[in-house]
Chains A and B, each alone.
Chain A
Amino acid sequence: MTTPPHSLQTISLRKEYPGTVALNDVSVTFSGGKIHALIGKNGAGKSTLVKIIAVATRPTSGTLLIDGNPVALRSPHDALQRGIIAVHQELSLVPELTVAENILLGRLPEKRLFGQSVIDWNAVFTRADEILQSLDVHIDVHAPAGTLGVAQQQSVEIAKAMSYNPSILILDEPTSALAQHETERLFSLLKTLSARGVVLLYITHRLQELKEIADTVTALRNGLLVGTIDITEATPSAIVQMMFGETIQRSRPLDLAAPIEPFLEVRSFSRKGLFHDVNFQLKKGEILGIAGLLGSGRTELLRALFGADPADSGEIIMEGRHIRPEHPQQMRDLGVAFTPENRKDQGLVQLLSTRVNLCLASLQRIATHGFLTADREHQIVQNNVRDLDITVADTDAPVTYLSGGNQQKVVVGKWLNTNPRLVLLDEPTRGIDVQAKQQMFQIIWDMSRRGISCIVVSSELEELLDICHRILIMRQGRIVDDVRPGEISLEHLFAACMKEDA
């Protein structure tokens, strides 16, 4: 196939959300026949850019040019028609339907039968098979999509995208769930597509992949375009520099002395397929970071420590007591707190008020003989609002109206009210603004000063360097290293998380 290469250009794209600018004056050109890697931290604006290109959201201002012409696309459907396809990290196949139906979903070929249009099943399977063949992918088109492995599902997802005859294909972290050889297959598939003149945008966190797949590397940071470099110039330090900018450890307080009093020990903690033989110790008041990629088992480890999910083996020894975490109630009563990664769905009951959410984990403490008194609740809530600086107009209004940062403070407040001795924080700064982040840091440091130990999981490595006394590096379910922020650079920490076990 020899179509002229397509191109995609943005001019001064800007996207504002209430209280924040997600994308600021981004002008960038992606030409066809090349694979363009798009990198940046969480919240850098990558997904906003993708959403705008796929018309899942509209920019506040700015223009989109396809093949040199400005286009006014109004809906995701328009974008599909125009050949703009985004394949997201979460696969969107219908597991019960066959591979062929999934590929041609919504556009199943029809034929006339007794004057009625009915689905032409022969054509469905033949066409789907043709598309897969053209990608050199061998999957049974009659198999239900749910029976396929993740890599094969990914291929079906791409075949589905191909059936739209795309001019622009966006892949959002397609390899995060793939094994090494599967990744190689995907890459050869992408190179085939690229050779046909398709504009390929490739979002990834796995920087070691860049050399293999990308032709150019474009970085976003805080909604701004940092720049585009050729892959030949993309050394690891250049990439880290583009992603993180000049990092300075700006806010770390001086009185954050390394604690010495032992508090807790985790012994050979394992859960099949997720984390293996995890051992570490924690001091009283220590802030321990866990650094690792998505899928390294860090979140699963934290959840198992809280009893939210079961561990297969291992135990926790807390001040001499041997504990097997079984359920959250047990761990809470032992003085353990947990702020989940997904605060919206797991940390808070969105329908209920800020007041109710703040009191939710400590009802037994707040109530006398099971009865709640408005005065006592009010006092606790006022203390939380003051101590954590929660911006809330009406504590009796549903918590869902609060901003991300304030919701996160409510989650933390909820747990502080239980008077915890160990707080497990999963991505405490995800999706919250810079000021709220600083406040989160202060809160964590304050907890440390009061002798509360913290374990912090975060993808924001520079934040871990800022917050923690010590950082464990987790890779493929194992703790592989134990470092101190003063002794390791961001670049090295990043490399340590990335390293693939050969």
Chain B
Amino acid sequence: MKTDDRFRRLFRHGILEVILVVLCIVLAFTASGFLTPDNLLNVLRNVSMQGVIAFGMTMVIIAGEIDLSVGSAVAFAGCLTAFLTQKLSGEWIALPLPLAIAVSIIITLAVGYTIGLFTGLMRTRYQVPSFITTLALMTGLSGAAELITNGFPLTPFPGWYNYIGGGYLVGIPFPALIFLLTFGLLQVLMNYTSFGRSVYAVGGNAEAARLSGINVPRVKSRVLGITALLAALSGVMVSSEIMSGTPTTAKGWELDVIAAVIIGGTSLMGGVGRIWGTMIGVIFLGVIMNGMTLLNVSEYWQHVVRGAIILVAVLLNLLQKENRTT
């Protein structure tokens, strides 16, 4: 009876973790080369660029909002970094290249945060749903990326710039470290700070939060700002990986990111969700894609499977919730 109870609890609260472990065990036996350190680190590297954004998106969705512009923001940020580097290392002023790159990255991140604040302002001051503003930004930022690059990749970066998106530190891919660091920071922010608590309250019941003296507009704006900042960071990482500012990168990322968040158990209704769940969701998708590639499953099938996973994961979450309330 006791083990039965324990199993049931595990099933209820950690079903996704269980499935992930089972999946890894199955792949370890069926896909040759899956269970090697190189491959696993590769999985981590592959998910890190989208994963960084997914943690921010988790906060946004918990706060009852959405950000559809993250994919375009990644492309725009990569292009902006390249554009600024080009201008600052010769065309406008001639800064030394490392300094020009550093300044460009900082400006890009600041611009990212500002874009998020803009979405928040539209939401809280003018009641424009974040769905609409970020849908507009999705197109607008994509166009802006094309504008500053004239539609062609900009390549002002020196060889060492590749380190951010492609390098290794103590044997671990550098982007994976950024990914893990982001996870750690947001995990602490959401679970151990008054700000994180406010995010849950605002998403769970904005009016009750307001009547408790929580500054709802500020919370929403900051959350949207942080997520846009993380999208910009991801854009910098991508530009480093591909060594250029390319306006056509990261198309459709917003949906992959939202999918990972939802698989991780975050409710689109707001108020419910965990950064840890998103971690699992991100890794889950990464492992599935990696496994299917190793098993030579066609890319078309991979898309179909991914779609099915999203649906099944949400269904499982809902069933769990039903179980818990009865």
Q: Secondary structure at chain B's binding surface: helix, strand, loop or mixed? A: helix
Query: A361 touching B271 by the CB < 8 A rule?
Result: no
Known: A329-B214, A349-B205, A352-B271. A370 touches B193 (CB 8 A): yes
Query: A352 touching B201 by the CB < 8 A rule?
Result: yes
Q: How near does chain A come to B209, taking the closest CB pair, in angstroms?
A: 7
Query: B194 touching A345 by the CB < 8 A rule?
Result: no
A338 neighbours in B (Cβ, 8 Å): 211
A350 within 8 A of B: yes
Query: B198 touching A363 by the CB < 8 A rule?
Result: yes
Q: How near does chain B come to A365, taking the closest CB pair, in angstroms?
A: 9
Cα of A195 to Cα of B196 in the assembled complex, Å:
63
Query: A351 touching B194 by the CB < 8 A rule?
Result: no
A contacts, CB < 8 Å to B: 306, 308, 327-329, 331-333, 338, 340, 345-352, 356, 359-361, 363-364, 366-367, 370-373, 414, 418
Cα of A364 to Cα of B197 in the assembled complex, Å:
11
Query: B211 touching A340 by the CB < 8 A rule?
Result: yes
In the complex, residue of chain B having the shortest beta-carbon distance to the beta carbon of A339: B211
Query: B201 touching A360 by the CB < 8 A rule?
Result: yes
Cα of A352 to Cα of B213 in the assembled complex, Å:
17
B214 neighbours in A (Cβ, 8 Å): 329, 360, 363
A333 neighbours in B (Cβ, 8 Å): 213
Cα of A364 to Cα of B213 in the assembled complex, Å:
10
Known: A370-B193, A371-B193. A347 touches B208 (CB 8 A): yes
Among B198, B209, B211, B212, residue most surrounded by chain A Cβ atoms (within 10 Å): B212
Jot down 30 A-B pairs with beta carbons below 8 A, ordered by A.
A328-B210, A328-B211, A328-B213, A329-B213, A329-B214, A329-B215, A331-B213, A332-B212, A332-B213, A333-B213, A338-B211, A345-B205, A345-B208, A346-B205, A348-B205, A348-B208, A349-B200, A350-B204, A351-B204, A351-B205, A351-B272, A352-B201, A356-B197, A356-B201, A361-B213, A371-B192, A371-B194, A372-B192, A372-B193, A414-B212
Cα of A414 to Cα of B319 in the assembled complex, Å:
32
B118 within 8 A of A: no
B163 within 8 A of A: no
In the complex, residue of chain B having the shortest beta-carbon distance to the beta carbon of A352: B204
Q: How near does chain A come to B211, taking the closest CB pair, in angstroms?
A: 5
Q: How near does chain A come to B276, taking the closest CB pair, in angstroms?
A: 16
In the complex, residue of chain A having the shortest beta-carbon distance to the beta carbon of B271: A351
B207 neighbours in A (Cβ, 8 Å): 345-346
Contact with A along B169-196 (1 / 0, CB 8 A): 0000000000000000000000011110
Query: B193 touching A360 by the CB < 8 A rule?
Result: no
Query: A364 touching B204 by the CB < 8 A rule?
Result: no
B215 neighbours in A (Cβ, 8 Å): 329
Cα of A172 to Cα of B35 in the assembled complex, Å:
69
Query: B194 touching A364 by the CB < 8 A rule?
Result: yes
Cα of A414 to Cα of B197 in the assembled complex, Å:
14
Cα of A356 to Cα of B212 in the assembled complex, Å:
12
Given A349-B204, A363-B197; 6 other pairs, CB 8 A cutoff: A345-B207, A351-B205, A356-B197, A360-B201, A373-B192, A414-B212
Query: B213 touching A372 by the CB < 8 A rule?
Result: no
Cα of A467 to Cα of B33 in the assembled complex, Å:
75
Query: B212 touching A350 by the CB < 8 A rule?
Result: no
Q: How near does chain B come to A488, taking the closest CB pair, in angstroms?
A: 32
Q: How near does chain B come to A350, taking the closest CB pair, in angstroms?
A: 7
Cα of A352 to Cα of B207 in the assembled complex, Å:
14
Cα of A331 to Cα of B214 in the assembled complex, Å:
11
B197 neighbours in A (Cβ, 8 Å): 356, 359-360, 363, 372
Q: Of A308, A349, A370, which contacts B201 at CB under 8 A?
A: A349
A366 neighbours in B (Cβ, 8 Å): 194
Known: A352-B200, A360-B214, A363-B198. A346 touches B208 (CB 8 A): yes
Known: A346-B207, A352-B201, A356-B201. A370 touches B195 (CB 8 A): yes
B198 neighbours in A (Cβ, 8 Å): 363
Among B207, B208, B210, B271, residue most surrounded by chain A Cβ atoms (within 10 Å): B208
List B106-135 residues whose CB lies under 8 Å from chain A.
none
| Pairs A-B, 5 closest by C-beta atoms | A332-B213, A363-B194, A349-B204, A361-B212, A367-B194
A352 neighbours in B (Cβ, 8 Å): 200-201, 204, 271
B209 neighbours in A (Cβ, 8 Å): 349, 360
Query: B213 touching A356 by the CB < 8 A rule?
Result: no
A351 neighbours in B (Cβ, 8 Å): 200, 204-205, 271-272
List B208-265 residues whose CB lies under 8 Å from chain A.
208-215
In the complex, residue of chain B having the shortest beta-carbon distance to the beta carbon of A359: B197
In the complex, residue of chain A having the shortest beta-carbon distance to the beta carbon of B188: A371
Q: How near does chain A come to B224, taking the closest CB pair, in angstroms?
A: 19
In the complex, residue of chain B having the shortest beta-carbon distance to the beta carbon of A377: B197
B200 neighbours in A (Cβ, 8 Å): 349, 351-352, 356
B213 neighbours in A (Cβ, 8 Å): 328-329, 331-333, 361, 418
Q: How near does chain A come to B194, taking the closest CB pair, in angstroms?
A: 4
Q: Of A348, A361, A367, which contacts B193 at CB under 8 A?
A: A367
A329 neighbours in B (Cβ, 8 Å): 213-215
A414 neighbours in B (Cβ, 8 Å): 212
Query: B211 touching A346 by the CB < 8 A rule?
Result: yes
Query: A370 touching B211 by the CB < 8 A rule?
Result: no
Cα of A350 to Cα of B207 in the assembled complex, Å:
12
Cα of A356 to Cα of B200 in the assembled complex, Å:
10
In the complex, residue of chain B having the shortest beta-carbon distance to the beta carbon of A400: B325
B204 neighbours in A (Cβ, 8 Å): 349-352
Q: How near does chain B come to A164, taking the closest CB pair, in angstroms?
A: 36
B272 neighbours in A (Cβ, 8 Å): 351
In the complex, residue of chain B having the shortest beta-carbon distance to the beta carbon of A347: B208
In the complex, residue of chain A having the shortest beta-carbon distance to the beta carbon of B272: A351
A349 neighbours in B (Cβ, 8 Å): 200-201, 204-205, 208-209, 271
Q: How near does chain A come to B198, taking the closest CB pair, in angstroms?
A: 7
B271 neighbours in A (Cβ, 8 Å): 349, 351-352
Q: How near does chain B come to A391, taking the closest CB pair, in angstroms?
A: 19
Cα of A76 to Cα of B165 in the assembled complex, Å:
63
Cα of A19 to Cα of B269 in the assembled complex, Å:
31
Q: How near does chain A come to B39, taking the closest CB pair, in angstroms?
A: 38
Cα of A418 to Cα of B212 in the assembled complex, Å:
10
Cα of A329 to Cα of B198 in the assembled complex, Å:
13
Among B200, B205, B209, B211, residue most surrounded by chain A Cβ atoms (within 10 Å): B211
Known: A351-B204, A351-B271, A352-B204. A370 touches B194 (CB 8 A): yes
Q: How near does chain A come to B196, taking the closest CB pair, in angstroms?
A: 8
